[in-house]
Structure 1
């Protein structure tokens, strides 16, 4: 993930979030045995952008024709401090025109660019080379997430005819936002009536989780990806319109994230490196 204004960085929060460009990063997480996590908070000197490219220190994302090429050169945070380096290529089947505000004032927007994508991963470690289904989206905002939201879940589930994504949000004022969107491989999209929200077993940190499923179906986690006191990412199996499918699911507890005691814990996993000098072109 690429961040300008690193929303989960304690350094960005402590700065008062006055200068998003001064708290940027490219976050990488690998899963399974020997999984690594990198989220180095970098300063304004490490950021360069153009129409097709986002550079943050030694890593970059570059749009090359019909594909997004992500070049990674990062250092994983404790306890497995090591280099994470290589290339990830994401090729959407098509780009969508979907743009959904999560609040009526447009202060938070979800933009699923390529919900149906192919991905190729080639990182410099044994077993970190593979190809499969990918996903490419973005969120934009002018306010801190924890200012406006208490909780949300998101999931995207590929199926035989395309993919279905769900976004379920609880705002701080008690109002909710719920959407279900079906995407076709040609980039067309249709908002649909989503299946009922269905409880999912809580994460290791006891983050509440729920997703969508046909009545009577019981969704289940098939792979834990990222587990934090306020956040869970996992591969989840569910049943949608009679089809059993596995997708990526996220749950975000922003009530917990607002806790001041959480920020020093995060600083261990999110080091601050403000200085950077790009090599001469």
Structure 2
């Protein structure tokens, strides 16, 4: 998110694109045949890109993930993301540029989201600076950011019905919350405070507080000091089953604006959603590297 709060960017690398209808229709047998680098920009001229690509478009190494024309790589303790994507309908255009993520430290935290450890969350860099250079007017800026990852051996909708996640900057570093309702009726409720050196501590959870529903009537909640009403300050992604937004809350008496996500897996299970998603997530299975 930019320092002035007017712009934000999200980049997600998928091997086995969990929100791709094409991956679901394939039976999720070969994750390497459904790969993607999803780029979304929020603010003036914002765009959304998510192209599902086949095995020929994937290259991996210990320090890099390359999917089609876009690439993520670690270089000199920095995550460098080169993007070259086409945005989804209705605003179709090319998005080119580079995003640099500079962690203050890399943590060793790993959180199992279920008892079988089929789903793992790794907050690699909850405290980071980012620099954004995208070939659009006004899209050269710097701000605060984070880098995390989720790993899974099963589809999300097989084990969860709903979850929310949030990362909020604090004077010491950042605080992250993970709350989930599992299909077996159990719940996950986790909170971590991170300092700039990468040290993490489990925190006493503030109470949940409900927020206004999204345009798709998706329910939302986050954590806040007792009596404080958190609220959205910037809309980002609003889908029938998923919401991403900038949210203001209060933690230990200090107001903070961070990124919040809500995911309704009950809605995502609906087969009626998949054709809708196919419009936003085009499939290009035969893309190949020019030197390949």
TM (norm. structure 1) is: 0.99
Is 2:280 the partner of 1:269?
A: yes
Give 1:191's aligned residue: 202
- Distance in 1 between the 2:51 and 2:181 partners? 29
Q: Determine the C-alpha separation between the residues in 1 that align with 2:185 and 2:235.
A: 30
What residue number does 1:237 align with?
A: 248
1:1-281 equivalent positions in 2, closer than 5 A: 1-280=12-291
CA distance in 1 between partners of 2:76 and 2:107 (Å) = 16
- Cα distance in 2 between the residues matched to 1:280 and 1:11: 27
Partners of 1:121 and 1:206 lie apart in 2 by 32
Q: How far 1:261 sits from its partner (Å)? A: 0.2
The CA RMSD measured in Å over matched residues stands at: 0.7
CA distance in 1, matches of 2:151, 2:288: 27
Runs of 4+ in 1 over 4 A off after TM superposition: none
Task: Tell me how far 1:65 sits from its aligned partner.
Answer: 1.7
- Alpha-carbon offset, residue 34 of structure 1: 2.0
Q: What CA distance in whole angstroms lies between the structure 2 residues aligned with 1:32 and 1:206? A: 22
Unpaired stretches in structure 2, ≥5 consecutive residues = 1-11
Q: Secondary structure at the match of 1:275?
A: coil
Q: Secondary structure at the match of 2:32?
A: helix
CA shift, 1:23, in A, is 0.3
Give the C-alpha shift of residue 235 in structure 1. Answer: 0.3
1:263 counterpart SS class: helix
Residue by residue over 1:254-277, the C-alpha shift from the partner in whole angstroms, topping out at 9 and shown as x without a partner, is: 000000000000000000000122
Distance in 2, matches of 1:31 and 1:192, equals 31
Separation (CA, whole Å) in 2 of partners of 1:33 and 1:91: 25
The whole-number CA distance in structure 1 between the counterparts of 2:122 and 2:136 is 32
CA–CA distance in 2 between the matches of 1:32 and 1:139?
26
Tell me the SS of whatever aligns to 1:30.
Answer: strand
Question: What SS does structure 1 have at the residue aligned with 2:266?
Answer: helix
Q: Deviations over 1:28-67 (max 9, x none)?
A: 0011232100000000000000010000000000000210
Distance of 2:273 and 2:163 partners within structure 1: 19
Q: What TM-score does the superposition give when structure 2 sets the normalisation length?
A: 0.95
1:280 Cα shift? Answer: 2.2
